Amino acid sequence: MSALTPGFRGGRRTVSDRVPPGQYLTEGFPVLSAGPTPVVDTGEWSFTVVNEVGERVSWDWAAFSRLPHESPTVDIHCVTRWSKLDTTWRGVSVDTLLAEVATAADFAVVHSVDGYTANVPLQDLTDGQAWVVTGYEGAPLAAEHGGPARFLVPHLYFWKSAKWVSGITLHDEDQPGFWERAGYHDYGDPWLEQRYQSGW
Amino acid sequence: MDHFVDGNALAGSLRQVFRPDITTAEARCAGCGAVRPVADFRVYTAAPGAVARCAACGQVTLQLVQSPGALWLGMSGLSYLRFPPPGR
Ligand SMILES: [Zn+2]
């Protein structure tokens, strides 16, 4: 219960402090999917950011691979109640991608190749809070976990971390995504247990 | 003249629609137009909710989300459900 978290220096944050309310820890990595796993060839893949006036910037796989990469180690929390600590990813910070785009938008929608979407306020994607990742625990990201590239925004429930990502669109107005249109919370803070739309 | 009644007037008709077994109803996919029985949907349940997809094109037809307080039925991928007459 009060074992010190390995590698957490100078703090008294215990493992139980790192598990949000209503969650349990898992050592495995459950695969959740709302459809068949798409086959995405890196030769065909690209990532596109479109701002609120329709200007776009795209990276193909080679160009994306040349961007500066980071290796964040983060805890992840799925709305189906499992949490997983100290997961290590490799990818590009969303700050790096957004640096190429002029925007005054307040909202973003993350898009997947299979039509899945998730909405996130833009301020939750900047300042080192979100990545587009292509590696997991030292290996290329497996297709079942969203490879070749998925989103990673670990401070929100994991449905916001869309698999098989193809891009981000930026908007002046909030636009609910795939699960947010069907009862799930618009924001999804695991520490506040924002699972479902308010009051339900 | 702008005459209307409240939604309770639909109760009789809707009782024929939202009855215990809708899997025999035929559904038209809003994506590709295929008309198939609901029972033919491909349903994915390893997800935050159940997701039904058209067997012909793969587009999402229904989403079902159960929270402690409510059951949501998202139907944005469906253009209609067609029910056989009662007793058939
Ligand atoms: Zn279809």
Summarised one tens digit per residue, pLDDT across range B7-44 is: 777 677 667 666 667 787 899 999 999 999 888 899 99
Rounded Cα distance, B28 and A75, in Å? 42
ipTM of model over 0.95: no
The reply to whether B41 falls in a domain is yes
* Average pLDDT of the residues in A190-200: 91
pLDDT band with cut points at 50, 70 and 90 for residue A39: very high
Any CB–CB contact under 8 A between B45 and chain A? Answer: no
Judge: A199–B60 Cβ closer than 8 Å, yes or no.
Answer: no
pLDDT in tens, A160-182: 999 999 999 999 999 999 999 99
Task: Determine the distance in angstroms separating the CA of A82 from the nearest CA of chain B, rounded to an integer.
Answer: 12
The pTM (predicted TM-score) of the whole model is 0.89
pLDDT attached to residue A61: 98
**Paired strand residues for B60:** B53
- Using one digit for the tens of pLDDT, what is the confidence trace for B38-47? 888 999 988 9
Average model confidence (pLDDT) for chain A? 94
pLDDT over threshold 50, residue A140: yes
Strand partners, A6: none
Using pLDDT thresholds of 50, 70 and 90, give the confidence band for residue A2: very low
Q: Do B47 and A195 touch (CB under 8 A)?
A: no
Q: Look at residue B33 and tell me if it is in a domain.
A: yes
* Residue A197 pLDDT level (bands cut at 50, 70, 90): very high
**Ranges A31-35, A79-83, B67-71, most confident:** A79-83
- State the distance from the centre of ligand 1 to the C-alpha of B36, rounded, in angstroms: 9
pLDDT of residue B39: 87
Task: Give B87's pLDDT tier (boundaries 50, 70, 90).
Answer: low
Please say if the pLDDT value at position A1 is more than 50. Answer: no
Please say if the pLDDT value at position A13 is more than 80.
no
Q: In this structure, are residues A79 and A184 in contact, taking their beta carbons and an 8 Å threshold?
A: yes
- CB neighbours of residue A167 within 10 Å: 20
Query: β-pairing, B60-66 with A46-50?
Result: unpaired
Contact assignment for A36 to B58 by CB distance below 8 Å: yes
* Domain presence at residue B64: yes
> B36 near B42, Cβ under 8 Å?
no
**Domain presence at residue B59:** yes
Number of domains in chain B: 1
Query: Residue A132's pLDDT band (boundaries 50, 70, 90)?
Result: very high
**Which of A36, A182, A195 lies nearest to residue B72, judging by beta carbons?**
A182
Kindly state whether residue B87 falls inside one of the protein's structural domains. Answer: yes
Q: Is residue B51 part of a domain?
A: yes
**pLDDT at residue B5, rounded to an integer:** 72
Nearest CB neighbour to B67, from listed A35, A115, A196: A196
A-chain residues near B63 (CB < 8 A): 178-179, 181-182
Which pLDDT band, with edges at 50, 70 and 90, does A12 fall under?
low
Report yes or no on B39 lying in a domain.
yes
Q: Following DSSP, what letter does each residue of B1-52 receive, concatenated? A: ------GGGGHHHHHHHS-S--TTSEEEETTT--EEEGGGSEEE-SSSSEEE
Where in the sequence is the domain holding B46, given as residue range(s)? 26-88
**Looking at the domain assignment, is residue B80 inside a domain?**
yes
Q: In CATH, what is the architecture of A46-192? A: Alpha-Beta Complex (3.90)
